[in-house]
Amino acid sequence: MLIHFALSLLFLSIYYTLFVLVAGDHSLTTVSQVSVKAGESISIPCLYDSQYENYLKYLCKGYYYRECTYAVKTNQPGQSGKYSISDDKKQRIFTVTIKKLNADQDSHYWCAVEIPGIWKDVKVYFHLSVTRGFNGGNITIKFYSTQTGKIKWCKLGSECVTQPTGSIDGTRVSINESAHNVFTVTMSRVTTKSSGWYLCYKGDLQVPVHLTVNETFTPSKYNNSEPEICLYEYSTCIMISNALM
């Protein structure tokens, strides 16, 4: 009885995008925090178990599920211009798209499968925020884990950093374990070469992270910001940065 939420997105320019997948209610996995660029659309493919194949799927907006309002349903896929939904029963994926995101938007959503009768719907919560990023600079990934063992930050097909400092594809990487069950990885002055899949290791645990760096120019007044990405056990992160011109 699992629903897994994967991610895809459309990018424009000057905003960071972050996705974190964490375990939710009913052993579901969904997006916990989402930061995305203004003016864009975000699509969330939701992978469900075969037992839900012929059930109605929907997106509901609101902080509390019992008070949320339907945004879009699979039996009314084109009802809203802001939201759309499609269900690929062969692949057992339903995809929710939220369009025309506004700057400073802060919204709460539930992805769900409707269960008929007295049974509760299968549902998971995610939080969407639209925030401003900056051109170049540093990215800090804060990792929370109860696992023990060696800490390592690796780029697939490239190098790993296991010491306090090192470099991957010319980008300086530092690892700092300053608190119990918390360590941070900082990538300094990222470039387009920094794009790709990374693995964050602690002992036997590994969390995949995807970073895309765009070559776009952002006014210098935004350059003093440094985004902090938070990762939790058994999560997947996809994020966007902007390269220095």
Please give the pLDDT value at position 193. 81
Q: Locate the domains of the chain by residue range.
A: 3-130, 139-242
- What share of the chain has pLDDT > 70, as a percent? 58
Q: How far apart are CA 106 and CA 71, in angstroms?
A: 15
Q: Class of 3-130 per CATH? A: mainly beta
Where b means 16+ CB within 10 Å and e means fewer, 123-145 reads: bbbbebebbbbbbbbbbbbbbeb
Give the pLDDT band (50/70/90) at residue 31.
Answer: very low
Select the more confidently predicted residue: 176 or 191: 176
Q: Please report, in angstroms and rounded to a whole number, the separation of the first and last CA atoms in the chain.
A: 47
Average pLDDT over residues 158-177: 90
Q: How far apart are CA 20 and CA 212, in angstroms?
A: 15
pLDDT over 70 at 38, yes or no: no
Q: Mean pLDDT, the chain, as a whole number? A: 70
- The CATH number assigned to the domain with range 139-242 reads 2.60.40
Average pLDDT over residues 180-187: 83
Unique residue bearing structure tokens 């997106």? 59
Select the more confidently predicted residue: 109 or 207: 109
Q: Does 139-242 match 3-130 at the fold level? A: yes
Helices and strands: H and E segment counts in the chain? 0, 21
pLDDT over 70 at 184, yes or no: yes
Handedness of CA 244, 190, 139, 156 (dihedral sign): positive
pLDDT over 50 at 29, yes or no: no
Please give the pLDDT value at position 156. 78
pLDDT over 70 at 161, yes or no: yes
Residues 6+ apart with CB under 8 A from 64: none
Please give the pLDDT value at position 28. 42
**In terms of Cα–Cα distance, which of 132, 126, 70, 122 is closest to 101?**
132
32-46, 50-64, 70-84, 104-118 — most confident range: 50-64
